[in-house]
Structure formats: C-alpha cells, structure tokens
Chains A and B, each alone.
Chain A
C-alpha cells in the first residue's frame, strides 16, 4: 500500500504508535499535533488520506474536517473516543468519510485506511445514468445538464454503487460492505449521514429525493433513469 497519511492528533504516544503501524504497512506518515497548524501542513504535504482526532487543542477536529472538506475531497477518517450518536453524526456531517472508535485494533485501522486508499486501481470506462444525472465512472465525474457536480470520492462511490444496479434495493449493510469496505457489521449511521450529504448535492429537492430513494424498513435504491 502506498500513499501519504496525515495524522492529526495531540496525543504524542498514540501518534508515534500510529506512525510505527502505518509505516510498517509502507505508508508515508506526516504528524501534526494541533488543529491550528493542520491546514498549513495539509496544503504543504498534500496527503492521500487524513486521520483526524476530534478533540484537538486550538481549532477542534470538526472545524479542521470542515476546512479540509471545503478545499478537497480526499478521504478523512475520524479517530473518536465518543460513541454518542450526536458526536459521531456531527463528525460525519462535517465531512468525514468514516470513523474509527478508540480503542481500535491496528488491523481495524489499517483496513479502514486501505479501504479509503483502494481507489488507485483504474476502473473500466463506464457511463451510467440515474434520473437526469450522467455519471462517467472512469472520469470520476457526475453531470447534470452538462454541469459537473462536485462529489467527494466516497459520495461518488456511493452513487455509482446504487446506479449500477437501479433495480436492486441496497440494505445499509450491503452498502457498508461495497462502499466502505466493512467485511463485518459496521455502523449504519455512516450510510444514513452520507446518503443525506449526497442528496443535498445531487437532488433538486433533498426533502423529496428522486435519485437516491429510501425503501422503508430495507434501505436505499437508485431512482428510475
């Protein structure tokens, strides 16, 4: 596995340990100990993925997440010690793609990082259509009436997964496996939050979605082309 990881965490021991584990996997690790210098370091080092602690001195993790998201769609994985719904949801809503709950196992973290970095392989050229959206899979582009819509890679993956099989209803668990790469049960709140974020970008009226449709009690499905 190749790539550069920016670790933003104020706990030095944990940062060092993360460095050891990630370097063992062949990754390049950059460390940052506070929120204030995180943005500068982000622009300077141009990482492929960010591991972000939510509680940081200076600017807190949520704000850092929001600022990175404003500039770039790169994968952000939150490191959080708080399991309360509100903390996790706020983190995800501020733009994180995934989260890992402390205390996590090394393999668990590596699996998450790998799933987010997996996108290196060249996909087959493929054109999809959902509603009035045209999706160029190889070109990572979604267009409505010729205008590109800015999606993060994860949101793009989610949309492509649904659009490839518009006849199928996807449960949250299946989506977790296909899009997030969870082999075991994961947190379905991830799916809920990201579907909402995706809708806010691609739906004409996010209150009455036509492209990502909820199937009550089961999951989601792509709207008719």
Chain B
C-alpha cells in the first residue's frame, strides 16, 4: 500500500518522459527499477526474518569500524616514527656534510669568481652521494639577504630545483642562521611520481661571495615504500579480521539460533496437533534449559488436552446415555398417550381434553429433548457431517413439502425462485433440510400471512438459499441475536408453534459444520431475510454468497393496524408437520 505511491509517481514521470526516452528505454528502465525494488524487498524481508543475518552484519560492521580506527592510528604512528627517524639521520648527515663543505670553502682562501664557482660545483658534486640511488641531492644557493657583488650561481646536484625550496624554509634560515632548518617537501621522482622528501637547510659562508644557503634533499622513497607495505598489510589484516569476526558471529549465532529454530519447528508441530513432539535437551546449558522447560510445557499441555478429551468423551457418553435412558420411557409414554388420544371420544369432556393436551405436550417435550441433545452434541464436538453430492433443489422441495401444512394453516403462499440449472453441492442433506425447514417455518410463522419468497442461487464455489418474508421483521440489532439459544424478542408473544427456541441456534451450528454461513437481516415492520450459504465442495472456502442478504426492493411497510409488533424469533427444530 505504502509502496504504491512512489511507483505511480515513477510511472507518470516515465510517461511524461516517454517521448524523449523512447519506448524500449522506458521499458528497460522500468524493468530495472522493478527488479531493483524486488531485490530490495527481498533483502528487507531477509533482514527482518533472519536474526542470524542481523547479528552477523552488525558484528562485521562494528568490527570494520574498530579495525579502521585502530589501523589508521597505528599507520599514523608508524609513519610519524619513520619520518622522524629519517629526519634525525638527515640532520646528522647534513650537519657533518655542511661542516665539511664549510671547511673546504674556508681552506680555499681568496680566489676569483670562476675558481670559486668551480669549487662550489666540486663540493656540491662531492656532497651529493655517489651512485645512482640519489639518496640525497644538494642545492647551493645565494642567501636572499646576500646582496654582495661577487656571486656564485645556484648549484644543483639533482633535478630538484631552487623553486622547490619553500619560502618558509628560506626565511627561517635567514631569521636563525646559526641552526639547521628542516622541512618536509614533496619532490618529483625520476619516474614522475611525487615523493616526499626531508629538506635540511643551513647557512654556509663562501669566501668573497658571502652568505649562501646549502640545502640537502633526502627523498623519503624507502620510507614511503615501507609505509605502503605496512598499509597493505594493515588492509589485508583488517579484511581478514572482519571476515573472521563474521565467521565467529556465524558460528556463535548458529549455536544459539539453531536450537531456537528447532524449538520453533517443534512448537509448530505441537500446535498442528502432533502432541508427541519434543525437543532434544542434553547437557546443562541455557539451550538445554530452554529444551527442558519447553518439553515440560508440552507435557503439561498434552496432559491438559488429554484431560479435556477424556472429559469430552465422558460428556458425549453421558449425552448418549441420557438420550437412551430418557427416550425409552418417553416412547412408552408416547404410545400410551397415543392410545388414550385415539380413544378420547369414549371419555368425558375433561378427560378427553386432558388426553389432547397430553398428546400435544408429549410432542413438544420430544422436540425439546431432541433439540437439546442435538445442541449438546454440537457442544461436545460430536456432530459429524455426512456429505454427499446433492441437488439443493431436491432438498429444498422436501423442506417446503414438510412445511406445507403449516403454510396452509397460516394462509401463507410460498414463492420459489429456482436456479436455471442444477444446484449440486457436497452437503449433508439431512442437516440442510433441517435448516431449510426451520427457515421456511419461521418465515411462515412470522410472515403475517403474506407471501414468503424462497430463492436459490449458485456460483462457482457456493450455493445459497434465501428465505424472506414481509412480516413483522426484526428490530435493529436483533439480527445478531436471533441465533442465540432460547432468544425471544418479545416474551409476551404467544408461543403458537411450540418452538423450542433452539432451532436457529442448531441451524447455525449445522451451517458452520458445513463451513457455510447463515445470516439474518431484518427491518421492523418491513420483513426479514435469512440466507444460508454453503460451499459446493467440502473444504473449499466461500468467497461470496450468490444471493444478496438484503432484498433489492424493500416492500413498503404495511398500513396501520396490521401488527407492527417486533418479531420474536424462536425457531422450532422440528416444526409441526
């Protein structure tokens, strides 16, 4: 739902840009986008669902941060150490070399400019080390504050030219000529790369030419190489460490997550009814304790369920026994009653009337008893469905036939709207007929003599029957109550059909047993409609009912004086035949 908004935005943007992008490109980009979205969704799902992944990822991330910080610090320290070391040796070397150069200049005595220049070249050539490794270069240049007339040009021993000497270094020497000055600069190596170098400068005095500055340039190539090796080692070590951390996290979480997953599996099996499933619980650790307490829970659960099952069995047994024990004497009473009833004309009027009352009340007692037993069978979960493929039209015909006498007595007309074709479903015809008989009898009973409409409906996976009347109807909120046991809307209304008050409750249980629905709709003084919807195949759920619950055209309320009383719904499980 939340995701749909950006998608539509993207689409509309793409649609706008469609002219420029061209259809194939648009399609491609859309496909890529959706693939990306799918991947992201999958990743998010994995992240949410896997504790292991989360633990490993966070461990590795933390490990990476620590390794980076530590590595950087150590690298810095090593680099500083190396440079300082080199600078120290550079200083020592420069000191001795400068001293030697000064001595040679001093011993040269006075000479002309050309010889002095030659000497300077010689000295610089000597100072820069022999060999090709160019471990140091030398620059001899006039001090910036030397404005004397005689001069020796700047002498270089390598590629590092005067402009490379930082102005800061020169001014530092000018400010403090008695001491060496050091600065790290970067120079170009012969292969073109930039290399840092330590530049040590000091003051020398040339005869006649005055103050000159002598710079030694020590390239830090070797140090840089060492640092590079160290850095690479650090990187490799860091990666290995992070991977190792990930591995350790994997192993540790496996140790913890695996038993948890096993526990989840066992719990799922338990909840699906396999009560004998247990966890393995070895040892003394936390996992073993989890296993033990889980098993203890399963044990007590199993015990409780067994107890309940036993109780239910006892209850069923009891119901069955009561059924038998009550029914046998009732049979005798019934037959005796019938016998007396058949010969009531031989007695006086009071005995004769008593015989009639006895006869009727035995009927009522019997239907009450059988409804009660039926309900208790549902309660005990002992009701079993006996399904066969049945044409609902046949079942409905039978139900209507058995209520014909009641309809005739009430003057109600039954209108049946059948389906075009057959209406076959896998149902228990005995139970469905009982439901329909009940609904039709109810509609006649509370339909105030007006026509009762029975409609059949069928779709791919459901069949339905709706029974609607235009009688007293139901008040608001009563539609939900009608299925309650012994519920009567108006206790003052006479119980004319001798209903037990259990009929609709049983009907709903019957519908539920099929995996079907039984719904009620009603409006005061307008009428009511009961709709039964059953799946066509056992176990296949109903998607929607083929029939509407509320009639499309609600008939106008009847005129005054036609009985606006609320409709007491109390259905009989076995209406009079």
Asked if A and B are interacting partners, one says: yes
- Least distance between A209 CB and chain B CB atoms (Å): 16
Alpha-carbon gap, A173 to B339, bound state (A)? 30
A55 to B328, CA, bound (A): 11
| Contact, CB under 8 Å: A13 / B329 | yes
Asked if B26 lies at the interface with its beta carbon under 8 angstroms from chain A, I say no
Q: How far is the CA of A167 from the CA of B329 in the complex (A)?
A: 47
Q: Assess whether A17 is interfacial by the CB under 8 Å rule.
A: yes
- Is the pair B429, A17 in contact by a Cβ cutoff of 8 Å? no
In the complex the two chains form, is B328's CB within 8 Å of A102's CB? yes
Contact of B323 among A20, A81, A185, A218 (CB under 8 A): A81
**B370 to chain A: closest residue by CB:** A83
- Chain B residues near A171 (CB, 8 Å)? 394
User: Is B382's beta carbon under 8 Å from chain A?
Assistant: yes
User: What total of chain A residues lie within 8 Å of the partner, measured CB to CB?
Assistant: 33
Are B339 and A216 in contact, CB atoms less than 8 angstroms apart?
no
B336 interface residue, CB < 8 Å from A?
Answer: yes
> For the complex, is B424 an interface residue (Cβ under 8 Å from A)?
yes
From known contacts A103-B327, A189-B386, A217-B424, infer whether A17 and B332 are also in contact, taking CB-CB under 8 Å: yes
> Are B338 and A11 in touch, CB under 8 angstroms?
no
Contacts of A187 in B (CB 8 A): 430
B335 contacts partner chain A, Cβ-Cβ < 8 Å: yes
> Contact flags (1/0) for A102-117 with B, using CB distance below 8 Å?
1111110100000000
- A102 contacts B331, C-beta separation under 8 Å: yes
B327 touches A17 (CB 8 A): no
Q: Fill in one digit per residue for A1-28: 1 if any B CB lies within 8 Å of its CB, else 0.
A: 0000000000101100110110000000
Q: CA separation between A13 and B330, bound complex, in Å?
A: 11
Contacts A85-B386, A217-B424; is A103 near B334 (CB within 8 Å)?
Answer: yes
Q: Shortest Cβ distance from B421 into chain A, in angstroms? A: 12
Q: Which of B324, B329, B366, B370 has the most CB of A within 10 A?
A: B324
A147 in the interface, Cβ–Cβ < 8 Å? no
Note all chain B residues with C-beta closer than 8 A to A104: 331, 334
B331 touches which one: A14, A82, A184, A188 (CB < 8 A)? A14
Contact of B390 with A by CB under 8 A: yes
| Bound complex: CA A104 to CA B332 (Å) | 9
Is the C-beta of A70 less than 8 angstroms from some C-beta in chain B?
Answer: no
Q: Give Cα A184–Cα B401 distance, bound, in whole angstroms.
A: 9
Name the distance in Å between B576's Cβ and chain A's nearest Cβ. 13
* Contacting pair B384 A217 (CB below 8 A): no
Is B338's CB under 8 angstroms from A106's CB? Answer: yes
B 294-334 binary contact with A (CB < 8 Å = 1; else 0): 00000000000000000000000000100110011111111
Tally B residues with Cβ within 8 Å of A: 36
B320 — which chain A residues lie within 8 A by C-beta? 82, 84
Contact present for A21 and B335 (CB under 8 Å): yes
B422 near A: Cβ within 8 Å?
Answer: yes
- Bound-complex Cα distance A4 to B402 (A): 34
Tell me which residues across on chain B come within 8 A of A21, comparing CB atoms.
335, 339
Count chain B CB atoms within 10 A of each CB in A13, A79, A216 and give the residue with the most.
Answer: A13
B490 within 8 A of A: no
Q: Which residue of A lies closest to B390 (CB)?
A: A217
Q: Which of the listed residues A85, A109, A192 has the most CB atoms from chain B within 10 Å of its own CB?
A: A85
For A54, the closest partner residue in chain B by CB is B324
A83 to B386, CA, bound (A): 13
A204 to B424, CA, bound (A): 31
Identify which of residues 73-105 in chain A touch chain B, using a CB-to-CB cut-off of 8 Å: 79, 81-86, 102-105
Choose one: B331, B335, B366, B398; the contact of A185 (CB below 8 Å).
B398
Closest chain A residue to B437, Cβ basis: A185
Whether the pair B331, A103 counts as a contact (CB closer than 8 A) is yes
Give chain A residues whose Cβ lies under 8 Å from the Cβ of B389.
216-217
Q: Are B384 and A81 in contact (CB under 8 A)?
A: no
Which among A11, A106, A192 has the highest number of chain B CB atoms within 10 Å? A106
Expressed in whole angstroms, the Cα–Cα distance for A167 and B328 within the complex equals 44
**0/1 interface trace, chain B 416-457, chain A, CB 8 Å (1 if under):** 000000101000011001000000000000000000000000
Q: Mark B346-385, 1 if CB is under 8 A from A, else 0.
A: 0000000000000000000010001001000100001010
Give the shortest distance, in Å, between A100 (CB) and chain B (any CB): 9
Contact A188 B429 (CB under 8 A): yes
A18 to B327, CA, bound (A): 15
Residues of A within 8 A of B327 (CB): 81, 102-103
Q: Which one of B335, B382, B398, B401 lies within 8 Å of A84 (CB-CB)?
A: B382
Asked if A84 meets B384 with Cβ closer than 8 Å, knowing A217-B391, A218-B391, the reply is yes
Contact A102 B330 (CB under 8 A): yes
Contact partners of A14 in chain B: CB under 8 A? 328-329, 331-332
Can you list 9 A-B pairs with a CB-CB distance of less than 8 A? A14-B328, A82-B320, A84-B320, A85-B386, A102-B330, A103-B327, A106-B335, A109-B335, A171-B394
Residues of B within 8 A of A (CB): 320, 323-324, 327-336, 338-339, 366, 370, 373, 377, 382, 384, 386, 388-391, 394, 398, 401-402, 422, 424, 429-430, 433, 577
The 8 closest A-B pairs by CB, nearest first: A81-B327, A81-B324, A102-B327, A103-B331, A103-B330, A217-B389, A102-B331, A217-B424
- Can you name 4 extra interface pairs (CB under 8 A) apart from A173-B398, A188-B429? A11-B329, A171-B394, A185-B398, A192-B388
